[in-house]
């Protein structure tokens, strides 16, 4: 009897987890396809295969789902970032680590999304995804920290951080649209631009 109840409870836990994931997956897709503003709870519910009521058992609103996705993204990103930052010692290597980690994450998200939506003719994706947004904030913080620490006198750190972030974001978006997806090249581009400007940019062959 105890066993039965235990298993029952376990089954319940499993279901709860599965539902939670179903909602998150559905929401990620919907947000990616039509954007957070345009997305309705009904869109998410429809896609998740659950009932409206179930949705509200797990999340109180569209916003809460958004945050859950964002948190999830940030949580998954942190180890990537730490791995890349491990042996960075100067500004350039930190920059490379952060940008590289960001691009790796974006590429991973994009691949997951490609794998899932094999057939459907989809729309924008990527930019608006809550995970990317959250990860982006993470990168922003890192940049600011690194610059405040490693960059000696006189340069406008707020402006520089903002610029780096903007470039990373923009190039990240462009990168996933290209085939083959080359995070290395993208990282090189960003780092070289920031470190040496146009004359320093990598030259493409052909």
Partner DNA sequence: AATGAATGAGTGTTCATTCAT
Partner DNA sequence: CATGAATGAACACTCATTCAT
Residues that bind a copy of itself (CB under 8 A): 35, 37-38, 91, 151, 153-156, 158-160, 162-163, 165-167, 169-171, 173-174, 186, 189-190, 192-205
Burial environment of residue 15 by CB neighbours within 10 A (0 to 12, 13 to 18, 19 or more): exposed
Site membership for DNA, residue 58 (CB under 7 A): yes
121 binds, among DNA, a copy of itself, none (CB under 5 to 8 A by kind): none
193 binds, among DNA, a copy of itself, none (CB under 5 to 8 A by kind): a copy of itself
Site membership for DNA, residue 200 (CB under 7 A): no
Q: Is the peptide bond before 58 cis (omega within 30 degrees of 0)?
A: no
Residue span 1-40 as binding mask against DNA, x where in contact by CB under 7 A, dash where not:
------xx--xx--xx--x-------------------xx
CB of 190 to a copy of itself, least distance (A): 8
Give the count of beta carbons closer than 10 Å to the beta carbon of residue 57: 13
Q: Which is nearer to DNA, 37 or 119 (CB)?
A: 37
Whether 175 contacts 103, CB under 8 Å = yes
Site membership for DNA, residue 62 (CB under 7 A): yes
Whether 32 contacts 125, CB under 8 Å = yes
Binding site for DNA (CB under 7 A): 7-8, 11-12, 15-16, 19, 39-43, 50-54, 56-58, 60-62
């Amino acid at each position: 009897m105890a066993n039965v109840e235990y298993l029952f409870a376990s089954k319940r836990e499993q279901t709860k987890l599965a539902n939670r994931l179903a909602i998150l997956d559905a929401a990620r897709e919907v947000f990616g396809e039509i954007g957070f503003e345009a997305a309705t709870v009904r869109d998410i519910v429809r896609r998740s295969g659950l009932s409206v009521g179930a949705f509200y058992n797990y999340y109180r609103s569209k916003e809460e789902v958004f945050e859950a996705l964002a948190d999830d993204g940030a949580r998954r990103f942190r180890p990537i970032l730490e791995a890349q930052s491990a042996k960075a010692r100067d500004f350039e290597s930190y920059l490379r680590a952060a940008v590289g980690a960001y691009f790796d994450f974006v590429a991973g998200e994009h691949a997951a999304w490609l794998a899932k939506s094999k057939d459907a003719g989809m729309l924008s994706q990527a930019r608006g995804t809550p995970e990317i947004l959250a990860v982006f904030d993470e990168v922003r913080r890192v940049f600011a920290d690194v610059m405040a620490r490693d960059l000696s006198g006189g340069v406008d750190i707020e402006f520089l951080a903002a610029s780096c972030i903007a470039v990373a974001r923009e190039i990240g978006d462009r990168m996933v649209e290209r085939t083959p997806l080359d995070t290395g090249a993208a990282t090189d581009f960003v780092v070289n631009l920031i470190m040496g400007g146009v004359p320093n940019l990598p030259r493409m062959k052909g």
